[in-house]
Amino acid sequence: MSGDDAAETPPAGALPVMRKVGAALLLAFCCWHAVFLLASIAPPKNAANGKPNTALALYKLFVSGPQQWNLFESIPDHHWLDPRIVVEDSRGGRTTIGCVLPGFTAYPRPEKARYYNLFFRLLTNAERPSLFAAYLRRVEAGLPAWHDGALPGRWELVVDVEWTRTLLHSRRDGGLYVPATRSFDVANPRGIVR
């Protein structure tokens, strides 16, 4: 019996043709994948003119799809995030009515992860058409219904945020966060720094 087993097994080092082809295809894919991973780490040469690298964009679309993930970030980008809609009336008064659609309910305190992720993605979304611009249009369309059918005056979404600093910057002066305030409306979807 031992003689029969020896006759059926191929000699050491000899792989069947299909295994060699499979190994070659796997090696080619791994090398192709490694080239694009290295290219995504290197700073783009055309970043100054704002044009994206088309080959790299197609690769990212092929591998990951058009998703936005912040699951693997080491620290939160924001220490504090407070969005609110402020409406000015014709007499110069200001009313704060919240920011969460529908019904313009207030942003929850303490923050709930669902709302934090919603506004984080709205504020940092770079996709076209922008989710944030659509949100601003929806707010503008819903405000008259909130104020008895007529918009009483100018409105804006005001966002107070404290950006988390890196350890390197925090060690310099001890500050852990950088505060900033921006206001947004349909005419200014990129925001106005206050």
Position 26 scores a pLDDT of 93
Position 3 scores a pLDDT of 54
Which among 79, 41, 82 is positioned nearest to 170, based on CA atoms?
79
Query: What is the spatial distance between Cα 95 and Cα 71, in angstroms, rounded to a whole number?
Result: 36
Position 158 scores a pLDDT of 92
Q: How many H-runs (helices) and E-runs (strands) does the chain carry?
A: 6, 5
Position 67 scores a pLDDT of 60
Mean pLDDT, rounded, for 57-68: 70
Query: What is the spatial distance between Cα 158 and Cα 194, in angstroms, rounded to a whole number?
Result: 9
Residue 47 vs residue 41, higher pLDDT:
41
Helices 17-41 and 54-64: crossing angle, nearest 10°?
A: 120
- Residues contacting 100, CB < 8 A, separation 6+: 106, 107, 115
- Residue 31's pLDDT band, with cuts at 50, 70 and 90, is very high
